[in-house]
Chain A
């Protein structure tokens, strides 16, 4: 029976992953908040160790390594500035907090696609407009990257350099066509959305999401852990 239902819904997407995206979003927001509020070096060390373990378990090590590589200059700069102004202990805390925030974010986004998240939020009654903001970011980022590349190429072809220090001098040659094209694109997109019936109060989610027992287990487990940690801290 289940097979025939699935077959009748092909080629629509199906739910993927062990946990519901909303359960993961809850855990992400809570963990993000805890890392942000933690002040003790030992707490931050434990939190980083726990999230890193989760990264390994979810096989998101490559994503984490790439994010860290991109962020490494910022981390170093951050450490130097805080170290010079507030001492090495505070610098270590600040770096660990930033590292923890990056790690939980990587963990969430490496295991949850914005499309799945959007669909699940749609099922929870979030408005189609808010959900499209999330999906649209994912859909149109490659288009915008292509656009930037084409404008750079067009200006280089005219002898206008846009690399290194020249970017500061000739920045308007990149920004003006980019802005004009993005505005035109937004205009076309608005028309396309209206023409496809977007803007009404409803939009059927393409995937049926339901919070199951293990999702609730994850939500309550994490909530209980945070409450227990907070109680122990203040005891």
Chain B
């Protein structure tokens, strides 16, 4: 039997300052050529373990490491990451911070150049890796001009060009749409077939279970399951904060539309960016108490359409109407009284010293602060224990709840949400689901851009698909799922099992 590539015996890790024990007595080993899925809810210790494997922990973070860990014959506890990187490639979550150079070619060459390889070898590796990952056409592009999915492939190429023996990916599917996720699945399959040892940390289990030949589950820092994916998946996933897409409950009944109920309406919106059309006559409306999912691939223009809804972007053609009135040139801050927008990255909305002050900031700016309503929202969103904490120090799931509550505190009649489930585990998605249902029951019209079809299916009365700059269909979810060709055309999954 080949020597283990990863040998982890009784490994524990405690973060400095907070003293948080992130890993406790973790035991496992990985043989060369294995494809391991490392599953676990947010905060289970997945990212910590990934960083231990290439020495980022404790090199950058400090803290106390216990037990024995050997990776590719090296001890990451005493070997600097610069040396570990020759054997262990790590792809982190945020692709924009991992594209390090001004062009894709330079970026892929970055790692091999840091290894001190000669120029012809670097050039050959850049060529081969780019061809292998099908990004040769992007080599001269600047990374910041690429989509999230493209950036992720560039990052993967940069790590692959260093020819590591072990490739570790930390939640690589977090910000990918269905098409991007499908491409990444194929890539991982090819890498595995080429003999690369893979360890993929992920809570979107259905993305990886089909390809992995082994599954580890971390729960509250402990390894609670280790075996073939089929066997582990038969265990108590819900108890570990993990859940698969099925079984899926039925969506709410289809309600008849009446023009008078419309809170926000987009009429024939046209928009260009860098002389390229993004929207070409997109029309959509949201009525009181209705939840509408705006679906589409990455780059389809979902965020652009939402930003027209509260006046952040002004339509070059067409019109946006709020409560039946054209928004004209009315300022965004004034429109915020009726339409609230929660962005994909909630941390960018939060600035106050405490959650309590954060909830009050928006309504105060609009002159409609109501302490009783804020207290009610805080209770409903489960924020009471967090009221005196700084919002920037909360988890992403908590920050999203604060951001939505902060927007609702100004009592808008429509709520626009941009990818509300991005980077959230099953438990956080369930909490959000219940909260949005409550908001809709109170009359708020909700439009959310999402690529999580399985989550949106039981939640929404309507799905609207945005493709090629237009809404190609706007109907009840069951009607749309009966038309797989429309979903395929929009680069969306055709079944809910692939869509969580």
Contact = CB atoms under 8 A, between A and B. Distances in A.
Q: Do A and B assemble together?
A: yes
A139 B98 CA distance: 11
Nearest to B99: A139
Given A8-B123, A173-B351, A198-B114, A146 B92 contact: no
B109 A190 contact: no
A135 to B, nearest CB: 7
Contacts of B82: 194, 197-200
A111 interface: no
B332 A185 contact: no
A89 interface: no
A152 to B, nearest CB: 9
Interface stretch (B100-108, B191-199, B220-228, B269-277): B100-108
B235 interface: no
Contacts of B89: 195
Contacts of B140: 11
B347 A181 contact: yes
Interface in A130-189: 132, 135-136, 138-139, 142-143, 146-147, 150-151, 153-161, 170, 172-177, 180-181, 184-185, 188-189
Interface string A60-94: 00000000000000000000000000000000000
Given A139-B101, A199-B82, A204 B122 contact: yes
Interface string B81-112: 11001100110101011111111011001111
A196 to B, nearest CB: 4
A152 B29 CA distance: 48
A218 interface: no
Contacts of A142: 142, 144
B124 to A, nearest CB: 8
A136 B100 CA distance: 7
Contacts of A174: 351
Contacts of B55: 194
Contact of B114 (A136, A150, A160, A200): A200
B286 interface: no
Nearest to B352: A176
Contacts of B97: 185, 188-189, 192
B110 A196 contact: yes
Contacts of B159: 195-196
Interface string A36-78: 0000000000000000000000000000000000000000000
Interface in B96-138: 96-103, 105-106, 109-120, 122-124, 126-127, 130
A203 B336 contact: no
A13 B365 CA distance: 51
A177 B347 contact: yes
B116 A204 contact: yes
B362 to A, nearest CB: 4
B278 interface: no
A207 B407 CA distance: 51
For chain B, the bracket of interface size reads 35 or more
B433 interface: no
A176 B392 contact: yes
A168 to B, nearest CB: 14
Contacts of A191: 51, 56, 60, 90, 92
B158 A196 contact: yes
Interface residues of A, number: 58
B293 interface: no
B336 A159 contact: yes
Given A135-B102, A151-B348, A204-B118, A158 B123 contact: no
Contacts of B51: 191
Contacts of B112: 204
B401 to A, nearest CB: 15
A185 B276 CA distance: 29
B60 A177 contact: no
Nearest to B55: A194
B112 to A, nearest CB: 8
B308 to A, nearest CB: 12
A158 B336 contact: yes
Nearest to B410: A159
A156 B90 contact: no
A10 interface: yes
A21 to B, nearest CB: 15
A126 interface: no
A235 interface: no
Contacts of B117: 204
Given A12-B126, A157-B343, A195 B92 contact: yes
A10 to B, nearest CB: 6
B420 interface: no
A143 B162 contact: no
Contacts of B6: none
A11 B105 contact: yes
B349 to A, nearest CB: 4
Given A195-B54, A196-B111, 17 more contacts: A12-B109, A12-B123, A13-B103, A115-B106, A139-B144, A153-B307, A157-B341, A170-B365, A173-B361, A177-B349, A195-B85, A197-B82, A197-B86, A197-B114, A199-B114, A204-B122, A205-B113
Interface of B: 51, 54-56, 59-60, 80-82, 85-86, 89-90, 92, 94, 96-103, 105-106, 109-120, 122-124, 126-127, 130, 139-140, 142-144, 155, 158-159, 162, 307, 310, 312, 331-334, 336-337, 340-341, 343, 345, 347-352, 361-362, 365-366, 392, 406-407, 410
